[in-house]
Amino acid sequence: MLKSKKYLLMSLILIISLLTITACSSQTAAPGDAGPVGDRESLTFNDAKTKWTMQSIWAPSITLWRPDKYFVNQVNRLALGQLYIDYNEGGSLVTTSDELFDAVRTGSIQMGTDWPSYWEGRDTAFGLITSTPMVLTHNDYMIWFWQAGGFELAQDLYADYNIVFYPHSVTAVESGQRTNVPIKELEDYAGLQLRQCGRTQSLILEDLGASAVHLPGADIYLSVDRGVIDGAEFSVPECDWSMGFQEISKYNVTPGWHQPGPVSGVMINKDAYDKLPDNVKYIFKESAMSTMMWSWTYFEYTSGIYQNKFTEAGVQISRLSDDALSQVQKASWNLLLKDAKENPNHARIAFSQVKFLHDYSEWRQTQKPFSHGRNPEGLEDVYKQLEQIAKDHGVYDDVIAAAEGALARAQAGVHWEPGTPYKGNPNLD
């Protein structure tokens, strides 16, 4: 009997020891392994198997950096133990926007953010990826990118430069020009020197009789304050306020026709991206989509707050007349068609965007005043012309395939499955 009790006691001790060893071994799984939830909760950023260097395109005084930081913070937490992205402020690693583009393209750094219109000297089509005067609004851009094939077409454009692109930020409509003289009709622009960013925007200003002056954001305050230029535009009210524009301008010329839907994006070196685990690639797209929604709601909300601040500071609204806006619309369409005729890439993206507006126009019209955005004047005629231009360039089928493919994937609703190569999300496989 005593022997039996000893045997039973030894057996129990052995079982408890084995269970303890098993538990300890499961708690010391490698940080990158797909272990139990408890393992992940013990990880820190220092456990990341891969570490990247990233730089924002925006200096700290330009609050457009907010979505950049939001995106990096989100990826770092979702990819905990696998990837850590070291966020660096604009200008801290490389100085100019072109240097940042090339640093990402060549892999000197793995990631940076951008305002796509800065790359129009490489290809005019980049200007369409961000805000084009009098065309897509911020809501339009979100729908076009994520549902109508825009994301796929943008990826194709950046791919020529060894860059993977994710649109991650869209702000409210920009404030408009801030000047010391009121502007209500087109003739009021005559003779003025105005800081303006964007190739198409500058060409329109020059057609109106003004001189477009290209200045970096850091130089605007002193240039207006000293009378070197007559006014400037930069961004949304919060950003303009942080740059001190309430101290140097008396009027805000509205609406912000030059940039009704400003988009910024994340640029990733393709070689670095290709080495990532598939689940981290999945995280990048989902984080870009959620950050874009966050950025729009943040900048839209704070635009009301900072508009009130400008009013309290004595800045007056000088609104362009409907006739003036109609003329600006015609000028914008003419430049869009001209660039599309000259550049197949421009034709591809311009037709895709205008096709989206065309296909959406009846629904938008029937739901006024509760629908968002607008149907631009002359849309139907421009749509027909761009359709023919796209066919002439041989890019019509690309646009149709991108739009139909995006819709098919969305309706199928098949999410990426762990253990399979990441091909996008949702997908058809």
Tell me the C-alpha to C-alpha distance, in Å, between residue 368 and each of 260, 371, 383, 396: 19, 5, 22, 31
Amino acid at 136: L
Per-residue model confidence as pLDDT tens for the chain (429 residues): 444 444 444 444 433 343 343 344 333 333 334 444 447 778 999 999 999 999 999 999 999 999 999 999 999 999 999 999 999 999 999 999 999 999 999 999 999 999 999 999 999 999 999 989 999 999 999 999 999 999 999 999 999 999 999 999 999 999 999 999 999 999 999 999 999 999 999 999 999 999 999 998 889 999 999 999 999 999 999 999 999 999 999 999 999 999 999 999 999 999 999 999 999 999 999 999 999 999 999 999 999 999 999 999 999 999 999 999 999 999 999 999 999 999 999 999 999 999 999 999 999 999 999 999 999 999 999 999 999 999 999 999 999 999 999 999 999 999 999 999 998 988 876
**Pairwise CA distance, residues 416 & 334, whole Å:** 42
Quote the distance between the C-alpha of residue 399 and its chain's center.
Answer: 21
Percent of the chain with pLDDT over 90: 87
pLDDT in tens, 339-365: 999 999 999 999 999 999 999 999 999
Bridge partner list, 232: 178, 195
Overall residue count recorded for the chain in this entry: 429
Bridge partner list, 113: 266
Three-state DSSP class for residue 149: coil
CB atoms closer than 10 angstroms to residue 423:
12
Report pLDDT for 324.
97
DSSP 116: G
Say which CATH class 42-173+261-301 falls into: alpha beta
Residue 419: φ, ψ to 5°:
90, -5
> Hey, where are the domains in the chain?
42-173+261-301
Count Cβ neighbours within 10 Å for each residue of 132-142 and write b for 16 or more, e otherwise.
Answer: bbbbbbbbbbb
Report pLDDT for 428.
72
Q: How far apart are the first and last CA of the chain?
A: 65
CB atoms closer than 10 angstroms to residue 405:
15
Q: Are 115 and 62 in contact (CB under 8 A)?
A: no
Locate all alpha helices (DSSP H) within 90-149, ordered by sequence. Answer: 97-106, 126-129, 138-147
Report pLDDT for 429.
63
**Pairwise CA distance, residues 162 & 160, whole Å:** 6
Q: Which two tokens stand for residue 269?
A: 């070196």
pLDDT in tens, 265-309: 999 999 999 999 999 999 999 999 999 999 999 999 999 999 999
Report pLDDT for 178.
97
